[in-house]
Amino acid sequence: MVMTLVLAALLQQPAAPPAPPPGPPALEVGVVAPDFAIPGATRYGTLKNPVRLSDYKGKTVVLAFFFKARTRG
């Protein structure tokens, strides 16, 4: 009887969601970053065209992320 209750409890538990696929490996220090595009923004809103890393080839680029920008948080 106890085995029946344990088995019934196990069968009623929802299945765990599948694990997300692993992302790309991290870049090593000093390695050239691959080209990418992101939506650009200014204090007046988002830019019409995406900003590409290749647009700044030969220049120093600093990326800054403000994760709470334009939110209520």
* pLDDT number for residue 35: 92
Residues 47, 39: Cα–Cα separation, whole Å: 7
Residues found in the chain = 73
Pairing of strands 45-46, 41-42: antiparallel
Render pLDDT for 23-66 as a digit per residue (tens, 0 to 9).
888 889 988 888 999 888 888 988 999 999 999 999 998 888 78
Give the pTM: 0.51
* pLDDT number for residue 15: 66
Render pLDDT for 8-27 as a digit per residue (tens, 0 to 9).
555 666 667 788 888 888 88
Q: 2: pLDDT confidence band, cut at 50, 70 and 90?
A: low
Tokens 């790309």, residue? 24
